[in-house]
Structure 1
């Protein structure tokens, strides 16, 4: 269950009798919503360790920030246990503070999914274990593929507005999730992305060139397939974005998101429909090779 509650959405249960479709509470945004991300004891302890080594080195937060190449609010949030420390923050702090490997070792035991609202954490946990993850997106480049510049532009434009700390927390959450693509080489990732996503200059032309380059980098991974759905083609996904996920025990889940709501489902009837649509879309989109060629041309023209 997404948030510990179960609501009737009108979907019928299949013969198993225990599968439900659940609308996500909050506003349905990934990494956001009406629920503030919760801290954890492991993050608090890690923050205290960083603070202790910083004081041992005779540094203030203001002095440490430029040395680890992160902002003062980020350093403060890490020390207060409110932000999951990015990998390069840990590595730089380890060197700057001469921490004897303590920070690097402690970071391996951090448990909270950073910046994720409570209702999204079940999906994020499933992502960690999935053997396949399929995504169709028609609104924005998916979070798993976004560059920092692209993501921060979205965060800066979000309404209601986010403060600096919330933006830092949400980017840390997104960056942490992106590690899945490289750290789970046995997980098959499939993305079908509308061509117009690469035509909207989110963050400006240079940021968009960087974003297209990032997508091309991921397309080189053996476990990642990226297809572009061309503008001039009708297809089976016009109902909206979708995600499909398969677990190691071959259970399937889906997630569909709107502006103010999201629906997480394990209902067989729903899954069957979405799987049929996604399979049809893979045949309707450009091939892997043609998709890469198109993106390379678009990067040159951006």
Structure 2
């Protein structure tokens, strides 16, 4: 991979194409309509079948509201179709968002967004799909060499946008396997750490998600190399994705992919069950 590919930093399309302005304006409008209706974020979340954190993120303009959400929010807030009037612009913005990631990551981001199954193993940090906004910002703020503020905010927004995969229907199959040390590392400080653990509990309870932890007391381990992702694109065979220091690799050779598949399967058998994992996270929260 060339230096140009690794360091590519194109003009911020979220600003230049108006996408960021659109979602900030739409978020402010949603907040105004919700408060006018006398509803809390939690109440609106219940009425629109989503999480309270998603309502907060949409109102702050850092998450993209799905067209289906706008329909439900219109009904819940009795706006007479005011929010639905922006549906075409939102659909266009979602399409444009697929080109927002760094060049070396863009192809995988597109594949990830359309995947029917994702299986993610993480050794160092909470995977991007599971990160809270504050955790993601802490990760990018601490990175060396230092990133400028504009780049940090762009990357945080891009990471949050990827989490729309949890709102897709039909829902993709998602499994996450985390090393226990990932849960123990308080990136961003105590409050950020607590919110991140709470986020893991919420996602881990979704019907299409399996969350497991590989505890540090295991005496055997089949994959001590690095994090990786197994992805099944719609209508295509499973592939493996690795990323180390900005060097991304999408692996499609069946023999190579099988190595990652076997490792992931063995680790899942050795790890805590999803139920045991949630109990561990609840225990960690109680000790904070």
The answer to whether TM tops 0.5 is: yes
Matched, 1:297 2:270: no
Match of 1:196 in 2: 181
The 3 A distance-change label for structure 1 pair 223 and 27 is: farther
2:91 to 103, 108, 118: 108
CA distance change for structure 1 residues 40 and 203 in 2, over 3 Å: closer, same or farther? Answer: closer
Q: Comparing 257-266 with 220-229, which one deviates more in the overlay?
A: 257-266
Among candidates 204, 210, 216, match of residue 201 of structure 2: 216
**Higher-RCO chain (CA-CA 8 Å, sequence separation at least 6):** 1
CA contact (8 A) 1:146 1:211 kept: yes
How many Å separate the matches in 1 of 2:187 and 2:176?
Answer: 19
Gaps of 5+ in 2: 33-60, 71-81
* Cα distance, 1:211–1:85 mapped onto 2, change above 3 Å: closer
Distance 1:288 1:49, change over 3 A: closer
Q: Does 1:87 align with 2:64?
A: yes
1:36 and 2:13 correspond: no
Question: 8 Å contact 1:133–1:246 — kept in the other structure?
Answer: yes
Does structure 1 conserve the Cα–Cα contact (< 8 Å) formed by 2:14 and 2:20?
no
- Contact 1:235–1:281 at 8 Å: present in 2 too? yes
The match for 2:267 is: 281
Post-superposition Cα deviations, 1:120-169, rounded to whole Å, max 9, x if no partner, equal 11111111221110000001000000011111111111122112211111
- The RMSD of aligned alpha carbons is 3.5
Secondary structure at the aligned position of 1:109 is classed as helix
Corresponding residue for 1:228? Answer: 213
1:79-106 superposed Cα distances (whole Å, 9 cap, x missing partner): xxxxx96437x98xxxxxxx88654531
CA contact (8 A) 1:194 1:231 kept: yes
Report the number of matched residues. 245
TM-score, normalization: structure 1?
0.71
Does structure 2 retain, via aligned residues, the 8 Å contact 1:49–1:103?
no
Matches within 5 A, 1:44-193: 44=17, 86-87=63-64, 103-110=86-93, 111-112=95-96, 113=98, 115-193=100-178
**1:242 corresponds to 2:228:** yes
Larger radius of gyration: 1
**Cα deviation 1:5-42 (Å, max 9, x = unaligned):** xxxxxxxxxxxxxxxxxxx55599xxxx4111455599
Question: SS of the residue aligned with 1:262?
Answer: strand
Higher helix share: 2
Tell me if the contact between 2:214 and 2:271 (Cα under 8 Å) persists in the aligned partners. Answer: yes
Name the residue aligned to 1:264. Answer: 250
